[in-house]
Structure formats: C-alpha cells, structure tokens
Chain A
Amino acid sequence: MKRYDAIVIGAGHNGLTNAAYLAKAGLDVLVVEKNDYIGGAAVSRELYDGWTYSNCSYVCSMMRQVLHRDLDLGRHGLMLIPYLGTINFGDAGNALISYHSKSAAYNELKRHSRHDADAKLRIRADLTRYALIIRKTLLRTPPDPAWMRIRDIRELLFLAKQFWSLGEKEIYEYVRFFTLSAADFLDEYFETDLIKASMASSGIIGTALGVHSPGSSYILLHHVMGDVDGNVGAWGLARGGMGAISKALESALRSFGGAVRSEAEVVRVLVRHGRACGVVLANGEEIHSKIVVSNLDAKRTFTKIMDKRDLPPGIFEKASKYKFHGSSGKVNIALDALPKFTGVPDNPYVNRGSQAYPGSMHTLERAFDCWKRGRFSDVPFIESVIPSAWDPTVAPPGKHWMSNFIQYCPAELSDGPWTPEKRDAFGQAVVERIEAYSPGFKDLILHMEVRTPHEIEQEVGLTEGNIFQGELTIDQLLFNRPFPGYAQYRMPVKRMYMCGSSTHPGGGVSSACGANAAREILLDLRKPSTVPEDDCDDE
C-alpha cells in the first residue's frame, strides 16, 4: 500500500500552499478534502448558470506577494485586481466615499470635516507604521517566550529590534494602539461620526468585538495591513472569483507532483507510538503517510479528528476553550443589473463595486449588542462588493453578482437553533437595509444565497463560521495562537502539524500560515526550506 510523505487535511488556501511547498521540496504529498470542490473558504462555485459566486471569502489583500511570485501563481492563472471607491453610508442618508486618488480623498473628507481631512493624513502614517511592523512578522514563526531555544531568542530579538526601530514614543503608542478599542483610537483623530464609523467597521469584521470593545483597533489594522502591489491598505479581487486563488495553488501543487483528492473526509488521524502516521477517511479507507498536516482549525483538529487518548493530558481541554465566537454572515445575490444608490454620483469611480453600511458608531455598537444577546443584528453592518463590476468572468454580461458580508450574525441564537425561516429573516434584514439606500434593489434580485455561521460551518468547516478560524484577540495572537506552547505549527503528537488560519498570523487569504508551517516541517525533516523569506517591505 502506498505511503505518502505527507497528507494535508483540507484543501483550503493554506492547506494547498503548505502542500505546494512540501511538494516543491520533493515530498510526495496528498491533499484530502471532504467537499467535492477545493478551496475551503477561498472558493468560487457556479451554483446558478452563468454566475460564479465567491461563496465565502470575497476580497483579498493579505496574499503575500512573495508567495504569489514564488509559486508563479500568475502562470497558474491568478490575477489580483485592486478595486477602489467604497461608499460608506451613514444613518442620515449621508455618504462618505473612499478614493484611491489622494486629491479626491482629501476633498471628500473635507466635505465632511476639514479637521478630519487633515487628521486622515496623520492616521494614514500611523497605521502604515503599525502595519509595516506586523507585516514583517507574517512570514515568520512566532517565538515561544517560555522556551529559550536559540531560535526563540532570535525571533524575540527580531521582534524587539522591530519595536526598537519605532523610537521610544512610538513604542508606547504601539502598545497602546494594540489594546485600545477602535472607537477610542479613532476618537483621537476624528470628530465626524461617519468618518469614524467608516474606519471602525474594519475593526469588527469577522470578530465578536464591538467598536467600543478594547482590542478592536488591532482588528482594524489586520484589515488595513494588506496590500495590492505595495499599496498598503488596498483590497483586491481575484479574477474569476476567490476560487481562482485555490485553483492556481492547486495547479502549482500539481506542477510539483502533489495530488489532491476531493470527497475524502477525514474522520480520524492515525497515531502509532506517539507519531501521526496517516488518516482514516469517512468510508473507512486508511491512507498512510510519514507526516500529517491539518488545515482545519485548532478546535476541529484536536477535538474532532484526533483521538483524545493520543493527546497529552490537558490539550483536549485547551483546544475546547479555543475561542471562535462566530459572528459573521454572508449573503450572495445575483442581480439583473447594477444597482444604483441614492445620494452619490454615478460614475465609473463610485457606485460600481463596493458599498458599506456602517451607519454610525452608535449603529455599529447596537449591531454588536444584538450579537451579545444571541440575535442577528436588526440593523447590521454590511460590506458589499460587486465583483462583476470589474471582473467580466463571474456573471453574464449586463448581469451582476453581489457579495454581502454581514456583521453580526451569531453562531447560536438565544431562541434556539438556526432554522430555514430564521435564515431567511436574516437575509431579508440585509436586503431591507440595502433597499433603503438603493430603491428598487429588491426588484433586481434574481437569486440569493444566505449563509449564517451555521451554513458556513456545515459547508467549509469553519467552526462557528469564524472567518479567521478563531478570534484575533491578544490571547489568541502571535505566540498565543492557537494556544501557548503550540504556536509553532507543531502539534503535541510527533509528525503532526497545523497550517490553518488558527495559527500565526491568523485569518485572511494570505497563504502565510501554510507557508510558515511548511518551513517548520522542512526544518524538522532536515530538508532545505523551499519557503521564501518575505521581501514585501523596503527595509
């Protein structure tokens, strides 16, 4: 019977990236995927004729360009296109448009507040400063401060050096920034509520924090630290949908001789003599390998596909405590035409591809209060993107599809489990909110796919539908991710690794977790690393 060098469980983008780098190093790699499609949450599916939905993740900015280049994903069919001009709607029917053009951005802000237009220049510098440092850590393995091995010391010194380079005052400001709420952070810069709300909404996407919850300013940074071609903070679309990323990664993997098997759900990891040695599929088939890598989130990995008896005491409990706090939903809508929005100019730079509905700081926080009480937000924050406005390949000509990301939508409702009726009510709340700013929107709807955390978990296995595979709070970041002592991609079982977004640096379609895990695996196998060093920044 064939024995692989490595089996990667889950064909999400991190799993595929991990497998690609292992295959590149000459390993015989098999990726097993429970669904009949690959990509996990970086997926595009044609559920309706002619429409290609990115069902889950919908935009991309964290993809490490050094990996993109190194794996030659362009040749494998990937193109990332930056998109511009988000309209942020306020409660009073007012709108704030974000532009890439500095001049237009300044004038637009000035229309709302001269003070804030000035402050925006300053916050840009500050956020970029913060982002540059984090970006340097993305393709590195976090140190374990409790160990004092040479590598840990080296990584700690690296971190210390990066912080030191900020200068004393900025070190304090950075520490402070990390712990603040988005609201407190933004209050220091801005006086206009809609400007604050537009920025603060980045601080809640995907997380069970409100704009007033300490820690949300880091989430804000997590969403602005990506880049498209060096434009820090820009977001991009994958041509052909987010699935194009997974397809390109798969193609790269196959070019290195790796294989992918779909409809192969792993039910258990085989462990013998304290070493992982293969997996058991749902149909009872056993596949053997020298190492096993899990792209599932930490909780799933430890509590669903591992036998508790194979784990050292206490780990199972730690994994069960790992926090998800599922809080996001997704509504994908096929449209008969491009929707028009009131109160904003109609031109190719606006009113095309992206709308956000922060409303106000108050509305955002109210939406969070609903989540706390186990309800979906009645006035939710929505981030809409219409990829078909840029990408001609995802909808029939003249038709469009719209991705709506919704915050907040709880994984568990206080009044009992999710039902189709509740799901539809949730979808309806979203449509009503959009309709208020785009009269006639409802009539454009051809079909609609509503995804609560429940569906997201069922489909792609993100526990509680958490898009980051676990909350991005300080207790689950860097050397605490997924939990202390296991932040270096190794599991407590020998020859078993994690490569999902539950590991450093966390969620987002970055491929960084998968690449970092591959580097650690190759280190253990005493093979030269195939993973490139990050060269994203100029220093």
Chain B
Amino acid sequence: MNSAPDFSLERALPTPFHARTQAFNLEGRWSSWNGYLAAEQYFDAELEYFKVRNACGIYDISPMQKYHVSGRDAEAMLNRMVTRDVTKMRVGRVSYVLWCTGAGRLIDDGTIFRLAEDAFMLTCGSPSTAWLKKSAIGFDDLVIKDKSDDLAALSFQGPTSCAALRCMGLDGIEEVRPFEIRRFELGALRFMASRTGFTGDLGYELWVSAEDALALWDALYAAGEDFGIHPFGEVATNMLRLEAGFIMPGAEFNEALKTIRFEHDQTPFELGLDSMVDFKKPHFNGRTALLAESKRGPRVSLTKLDIEGNKPAAGSFIYNSKACRRDVGYVTSGIWSPVVKANIAFAMIESKHISGELWAHINYEKELRHYSKIARCQIKQSPFYAPQHAKLTPPADF
C-alpha cells in the first residue's frame, strides 16, 4: 500500500472534548463507549480518584445517550415507560429512573430532566432509540430526538466543584439543589447545569452543545485551576460509584433487551431499587410482573458487603458458611475503598441467605503466586461513602 490506509470508518470517534482530554492521556489508555473514545484512566487512577474525593474532577460523559422527548404526550409516554411517577416532577428537576420490560426485567437506568411542561431529556448509558420508538406506539403528539451527538456533557464532581463553578461566574450555582437544573450564559457560551452525578459527592453535570464544548472546558479549567481540577477516567469512576452505592449496567445487571439467557437479567427489586418503583401511579411497563414480585419478594438481592481483609473480592463466590459447601451468590463489583479504608463490594445473593453468615472465597496473587482465602462478609445497609456536604444547599465550604 502506497499511501497511509484510510481508517476513517473504523476509528472510534473523538468526543467534543477530545482535543483537550487527549493531552492528559499520557499512556493512550482509551476504551470505547458507544463508539466514542473514553479515557480508562489518564495517568494515575488513584490520583484521579482522590482529586474527586478531595478537590474536583471532570469526567467526559459525552458518549452518554441523550434524547429529547417533547410534545403533549411526552409526559404520558415517559410515565408509561419508567417505574417512577414522572407526573410528580416539577419543571427544572431531574429524576433517576428505571425502565423495565413487561416481565419486570431492568432494561436500563438513567435520568429524566424536565425541561418544560411538555419537554424532557432522557439520558442513559447505552443506545435506546429502538426501545423509545417502541414505547411511543399509541402516543400521537410526541417527538423524540436523539441529541447524543449534538450535546456534549461533563461530569464535574468533588467538594470544591461548587466553588470552582462560582469562580467561573455561575452566579447562583450554590442555590441549585440536588437534582435541580439551571441554565447559564457566560458571554456567548450557553449551557445547562444539573446538580447530579455518579460519585456520591457534591457535583454537577454540565450540558452544552457540541460546538461550544471546548469553550466550556476552557472556562471551567481556568476557573478550576485553583480548586484542584483534574480529569478522571473510567477506573476512578468505577471506584467512586461503588463507594456511593450506585449500580452499573454490565456489572450489577445485564440490560434486559440484550440478555440472551432466560432471566440472566435483573429486576429492580433484586437490585434493591424498591423505592424507584411506584405502584401508586396507575400503569407503567412491567407493573403487573413487578407487583407480583414485590409480593413474592425477590429471588436474589444485591447486597453491599464489607469484607474482611484487603483483597478486592471482584468475581468471588459467596458462601453461607466458612466451609464453603454451597455458594449462595457472587460478587458483582469489589474494590479496596481508599476513603473508607475497607474492602467493599456489591454481591448478588440469594435472598433467603441474606440473614445468615456470608463468606467470600477470594482468589488473589502475590508475585505470580496464587492464593485463596475465605473472608467474612458484613452487610452494609447504607452507602459506603456518603459525605454530608454532598447534600447541603448551599454547599458547605470545603
């Protein structure tokens, strides 16, 4: 071949922030998320993690899927689709939502932004166009637009995030309550901020048109310099969300529509998301099946575990006795938590064994020699890390 091969169709796409983020990605550690390049880590995942817990970090969430749903039937359509009551949402609010198949199996989770009485934005991790189209059957006054490529987004998280945004000139950002939206204009730069995130800490997500993405990045970076701003990647995100007790598709649950084997997906009750299912609202997808399950109780339960020792338990089997005769579950995600200083994990455990003893059978290695240990597990009811300042409005000074 004489000239350089043309890989324009094969290459994962750069996000609107790529021109900035690539400078940080010293080892070129990219993975692919919905066809876009996403940083696994920039240089040092632990540093990135502590930036968020200690100062502030930015995570490029542009590859998230973003759908605008508008029209007179928009509310009804979304309300039929998700398990929470959308009619109770006020304009300018955000709500974490789940949507299920008719059999009550979780398709995906995401957030709904109520932009106006008849306009919503739905965000989620993987493409949902086909499901949205299916869900729209029977609704007439409805427009669904996929804005995923048009909207860039940054997750800006950490105790100094509010101060940095204030410094950037976002007047009134401190008044924004959790799950609230506010629009801002800085000169020609217009964007939307929501007090949402995936880290359990104080934090915001900024939504901007793709062409204004770099301008937003630059403004944010200039303001954040004194507050310890730093980009973080997927590895740090996974640690942060686990500490905060957030589930992740592909780890805690398999998306129902992409599940091959019968019931290898999960229900909201199995994932401990009971409060996200509102049986008081009349009709939503999966209601009958979920109602039956809520009476019966879930077969398995996602459980937060504090495991003795310091060997991360990812992939371990859970047993109901130290003798490890019968496995009653398995760990879906597990890390050593640097802030809690604990060996934490999510595990999917048969509900009838939750009340008894739980032991994890952990495999680990030291210098290529492999070991295993049986570690006692303790159930945690609340998130492993839930700092007070994350909830205050206005946020406390760090």
List the interface of chain A (C-beta within 8 A of B). Answer: 97, 99, 101-104, 106-108, 110-111, 114-119, 121-122, 124-125, 128-129, 132, 165-167, 169-170, 189, 344-350
With both chains docked as a complex, state the minimum distance between the C-beta of A25 and any C-beta of chain B, in angstroms. 36
Q: Judging by beta carbons under 8 Å apart, are A101 and B35 in contact?
A: no
Q: Judging by beta carbons under 8 Å apart, are B260 and A129 in contact?
A: yes
> Which residues 286-304 of B have a CB within 8 angstroms of A?
none
Chain A contacts for B7, CB-based, 8 A: 345, 347, 349
> Which residues 144-183 of B have a CB within 8 angstroms of A?
146, 148
Encode contact with A along B1-20: 1 for CB under 8 Å, 0 otherwise: 10001111111110000000
Q: Judging by beta carbons under 8 Å apart, are B127 and A118 in contact?
A: yes
Q: Judging by beta carbons under 8 Å apart, are B5 and A347 in contact?
A: yes
Chain B contacts for A170, CB-based, 8 A: 262
Chain B contacts for A97, CB-based, 8 A: 9
Q: Judging by beta carbons under 8 Å apart, are A118 and B9 in contact?
A: no
Q: Could you say which of B87-95, B128-136, B235-243 contacts chain A? A: B128-136
With both chains docked as a complex, state the minimum distance between the C-beta of A17 and any C-beta of chain B, in angstroms. 30
A125-B258, A345-B6 known; A103+B129 contact, CB < 8 A = no
In the A-B complex, list the 7 residue pairs whose CB atoms are closest, starting with the nearest: A347-B5, A103-B32, A118-B127, A345-B6, A107-B35, A167-B262, A119-B130
With both chains docked as a complex, state the minimum distance between the C-beta of B15 and any C-beta of chain A, in angstroms. 13
Chain A contacts for B130, CB-based, 8 A: 115-116, 118-119, 122, 189
Residue from the list B1, B6, B9, B146 in contact with A114, Cβ < 8 A = B146
Instruction: Tell me if A's interface is mostly helix, strand, loop or mixed.
Output: helix
Q: Judging by beta carbons under 8 Å apart, are B13 and A107 in contact?
A: yes
Question: Does B186 have its Cβ within 8 Å of any Cβ on chain A?
Answer: no
With both chains docked as a complex, state the minimum distance between the C-beta of A83 and any C-beta of chain B, in angstroms. 16
Q: Judging by beta carbons under 8 Å apart, are A125 and B128 in contact?
A: no
Q: Judging by beta carbons under 8 Å apart, are B263 and A345 in contact?
A: no
Question: Does B259 have its Cβ within 8 Å of any Cβ on chain A?
Answer: yes
Distance of A108 Cα from B6 Cα, bound (Å):
15
Q: Judging by beta carbons under 8 Å apart, are B10 and A165 in contact?
A: no
With both chains docked as a complex, state the minimum distance between the C-beta of A198 and any C-beta of chain B, in angstroms. 15
Chain A contacts for B8, CB-based, 8 A: 345
Q: Judging by beta carbons under 8 Å apart, are B127 and A99 in contact?
A: no
A165-B262, A347-B10 known; A125+B257 contact, CB < 8 A = yes
A-B pairs with beta carbons under 8 A, tally: 82
Distance of A265 Cα from B375 Cα, bound (Å):
70
Distance of A102 Cα from B32 Cα, bound (Å):
9
Distance of A348 Cα from B4 Cα, bound (Å):
11
Extra contacts besides A165-B261, A347-B10, A349-B7 (18): CB < 8 Å: A101-B10, A104-B9, A104-B11, A106-B34, A107-B12, A107-B35, A110-B35, A116-B130, A121-B257, A122-B257, A125-B257, A125-B260, A129-B260, A167-B263, A344-B9, A345-B6, A346-B1, A350-B10
Distance of A102 Cα from B258 Cα, bound (Å):
14
Distance of A189 Cα from B131 Cα, bound (Å):
10
> Which residues 1-56 of B have a CB within 8 angstroms of A?
1, 5-13, 32, 34-35
Q: Judging by beta carbons under 8 Å apart, are A118 and B131 in contact?
A: yes
Q: Judging by beta carbons under 8 Å apart, are B146 and A347 in contact?
A: no
With both chains docked as a complex, state the minimum distance between the C-beta of A316 and any C-beta of chain B, in angstroms. 45
Q: Chain B residue with minimal CB distance to A348? A: B5
Give the one of B8, B9, B13, B257 with max A CB within 10 A.
Answer: B9
Report 12 cross-chain contacts, Cβ distance below 8 Å, ordered by A residue: A97-B9, A104-B10, A104-B12, A106-B35, A107-B13, A114-B148, A115-B133, A118-B131, A125-B257, A166-B262, A189-B130, A347-B5
Give the one of A97, A102, A118, A165 with max B CB within 10 A.
Answer: A118
Question: Does B103 have its Cβ within 8 Å of any Cβ on chain A?
Answer: yes
Instruction: Tell me if B's interface is mostly helix, strand, loop or mixed.
Output: loop
Q: Judging by beta carbons under 8 Å apart, are A121 and B127 in contact?
A: yes
With both chains docked as a complex, state the minimum distance between the C-beta of A98 and any C-beta of chain B, in angstroms. 12
Q: Judging by beta carbons under 8 Å apart, are A117 and B127 in contact?
A: yes
Give the one of A124, A129, A167, A347 with max B CB within 10 A.
Answer: A347
List the interface of chain B (C-beta within 8 A of A). Answer: 1, 5-13, 32, 34-35, 103, 126-131, 133, 146, 148, 257-263
Distance of A345 Cα from B7 Cα, bound (Å):
7
Chain B contacts for A102, CB-based, 8 A: 32
With both chains docked as a complex, state the minimum distance between the C-beta of A234 and any C-beta of chain B, in angstroms. 16
Q: Chain A residue with minimal CB distance to B32? A: A103
Distance of A220 Cα from B260 Cα, bound (Å):
18
Distance of A102 Cα from B260 Cα, bound (Å):
17
Q: Judging by beta carbons under 8 Å apart, are B260 and A128 in contact?
A: yes
Residue from the list A118, A129, A132, A349 in contact with B128, Cβ < 8 A = A118
Q: Chain B residue with minimal CB distance to A346? A: B6
A115-B129, A115-B130, A170-B262 known; A99+B32 contact, CB < 8 A = no
With both chains docked as a complex, state the minimum distance between the C-beta of B134 and any C-beta of chain A, in angstroms. 10
With both chains docked as a complex, state the minimum distance between the C-beta of A87 and any C-beta of chain B, in angstroms. 11
Distance of A344 Cα from B35 Cα, bound (Å):
19
Residue from the list B9, B126, B262 in contact with A107, Cβ < 8 A = B9
Distance of A188 Cα from B133 Cα, bound (Å):
12
Chain B contacts for A129, CB-based, 8 A: 260-261
Q: Chain B residue with minimal CB distance to A85? A: B10
With both chains docked as a complex, state the minimum distance between the C-beta of B183 and any C-beta of chain A, in angstroms. 26
Q: Chain B residue with minimal CB distance to A113? A: B129
Residue from the list B6, B103, B258, B262 in contact with A347, Cβ < 8 A = B6
Chain A contacts for B129, CB-based, 8 A: 114-115, 117-119
With both chains docked as a complex, state the minimum distance between the C-beta of A539 and any C-beta of chain B, in angstroms. 8
Distance of A347 Cα from B11 Cα, bound (Å):
12
With both chains docked as a complex, state the minimum distance between the C-beta of A377 and any C-beta of chain B, in angstroms. 30
A115-B129, A167-B263 known; A99+B146 contact, CB < 8 A = no
Residue from the list A108, A122, A167 in contact with B258, Cβ < 8 A = A122
Q: Judging by beta carbons under 8 Å apart, are A349 and B10 in contact?
A: yes
Chain B contacts for A117, CB-based, 8 A: 127, 129
With both chains docked as a complex, state the minimum distance between the C-beta of B146 and any C-beta of chain A, in angstroms. 5
Chain A contacts for B12, CB-based, 8 A: 103-104, 107
Chain B contacts for A115, CB-based, 8 A: 129-130, 133
Residue from the list B35, B127, B260, B261 in contact with A103, Cβ < 8 A = B35
With both chains docked as a complex, state the minimum distance between the C-beta of A152 and any C-beta of chain B, in angstroms. 26
Q: Judging by beta carbons under 8 Å apart, are A132 and B260 in contact?
A: yes
A103-B32, A118-B130, A121-B127 known; A108+B259 contact, CB < 8 A = no
Q: Chain A residue with minimal CB distance to B127? A: A118
With both chains docked as a complex, state the minimum distance between the C-beta of A97 and any C-beta of chain B, in angstroms. 7
Q: Judging by beta carbons under 8 Å apart, are A121 and B258 in contact?
A: yes
Distance of A129 Cα from B259 Cα, bound (Å):
9
Q: Chain A residue with minimal CB distance to B10? A: A104
With both chains docked as a complex, state the minimum distance between the C-beta of A524 and any C-beta of chain B, in angstroms. 37
Q: Chain B residue with minimal CB distance to A170? A: B262
Chain B contacts for A124, CB-based, 8 A: 258
With both chains docked as a complex, state the minimum distance between the C-beta of B347 and any C-beta of chain A, in angstroms. 22
Q: Chain A residue with minimal CB distance to B7? A: A347
Chain A contacts for B34, CB-based, 8 A: 106
Distance of A86 Cα from B34 Cα, bound (Å):
21
With both chains docked as a complex, state the minimum distance between the C-beta of A417 and any C-beta of chain B, in angstroms. 46
With both chains docked as a complex, state the minimum distance between the C-beta of A172 and any C-beta of chain B, in angstroms. 13
Q: Chain B residue with minimal CB distance to A349? A: B10
Q: Chain B residue with minimal CB distance to A117? A: B127
Distance of A189 Cα from B127 Cα, bound (Å):
14
A102-B32, A118-B128 known; A108+B9 contact, CB < 8 A = yes
Chain A contacts for B6, CB-based, 8 A: 345-347
Q: Chain B residue with minimal CB distance to A95? A: B9
Q: Judging by beta carbons under 8 Å apart, are B127 and A114 in contact?
A: yes
Q: Chain A residue with minimal CB distance to B9? A: A345
Q: Chain B residue with minimal CB distance to A121? A: B258
Chain B contacts for A345, CB-based, 8 A: 5-10
Q: Chain A residue with minimal CB distance to B35? A: A107
Q: Chain A residue with minimal CB distance to B8? A: A345
Distance of A108 Cα from B263 Cα, bound (Å):
31
Distance of A31 Cα from B9 Cα, bound (Å):
50
Chain B contacts for A348, CB-based, 8 A: 5
Distance of A243 Cα from B377 Cα, bound (Å):
58
Chain B contacts for A132, CB-based, 8 A: 260
Distance of A110 Cα from B10 Cα, bound (Å):
12
Distance of A441 Cα from B392 Cα, bound (Å):
70
